[in-house]
Amino acid sequence: MQSESEDPDAEVMIRVASGDHAAFRELVERHQQLVVGTVARMIGSADAEDVAQQVFLNVWKSAPRWRPEAKVTTWVMTIAKRLVFNESRRRGRTRVVPQSGEDQGMHEFPDAAPGPDRRMLDQELHHAVEAAMGSLGEKERLAVVLRRHEGMPYEEIAQVLGTSVPALKSLLFRARNTLRVKLSDYLDG
């Protein structure tokens, strides 16, 4: 069981559940970057703001049902997961290759001169990574995003995905192997 002292958002969430608009604004400010970033990496940046807004709308509406046993971040990301997966299905199960912003995807090579050749190679690698991520299943992609980009602990990711930690580790292992194979032309050794 999660105590309020272990989750810095618990006190804020209790106020949100009672209808406190200022607390809700604080909660959104605390988690907006996490939600928008995750959504953008999952379905593309064009719709990220709209889906993130829907996530927070659902957080507001369902706040009275939140229980302190659930860490607020985990609960918010579970709502985000449902909406992202629904959006993917709404799009007709077509593979969505996220179009990351410049800050999310372009890889910098500090030793290289920033010439047109380097930019072209960076762009090629960026598209290859996006395509490889887009080839993963929804759960695999979300697990990789939450672990790699958001630094979320295994326990929280497992809760968001509704699975056990060992099952999550297996899912991540398979996802990483898939990425390794798809990006083998770009990996050294």
162 and 169 in contact (C-beta within 8 Å)? no
> If 0-12 CB within 10 Å is exposed, 13-18 middle and 19+ buried, where does residue 39 land?
buried
> For residue 33, what are the CA distances in angstroms to 66, 140, 150?
21, 21, 10
Read off the tokens for 4: 């309020």
- Higher pLDDT pick, 57 / 109: 57
CA distance 86 to 90: 6
Q: Which residues contact 29 (CB under 8 A, 6 or more apart)?
A: none
**Which residue ranges form the domains of the chain, and what is each CATH number?**
10-90 (1.10.1740.10), 102-186 (1.10.10.10)
Rg over CA atoms, the chain: 18
In this prediction, residue 78 has a pLDDT band, given cuts at 50, 70 and 90, of very high
pLDDT higher for 64 or 189? 64
CA within 13 Å, CB half, 130: 22
Tokens of 1: 């069981």
**What's the confidence (pLDDT) of residue 100?**
46
Q: Could you report the per-residue pLDDT of 5-64, keeping only the tens digit for each?
A: 578 899 999 999 999 999 999 999 999 999 999 999 888 878 889 999 999 999 999 999
Query: How many C-alpha atoms does 57 have within 13 Å on its Cβ side?
Result: 7
Which of 69, 73, 83 has its CA nearest to residue 30? Answer: 73
> Among 67-71, 117-121, 159-163, where is mean pLDDT lowest?
117-121
pLDDT band, residue 155 (cuts 50/70/90): very high
For the chain, give the number of residues.
189
Q: Which of 90, 100, 160 is nearest to 134 (CA)?
A: 100
Burial of 151 (0-12, 13-18, 19+ CB in 10 A): exposed
Q: Are 156 and 74 in contact (CB under 8 A)?
A: yes
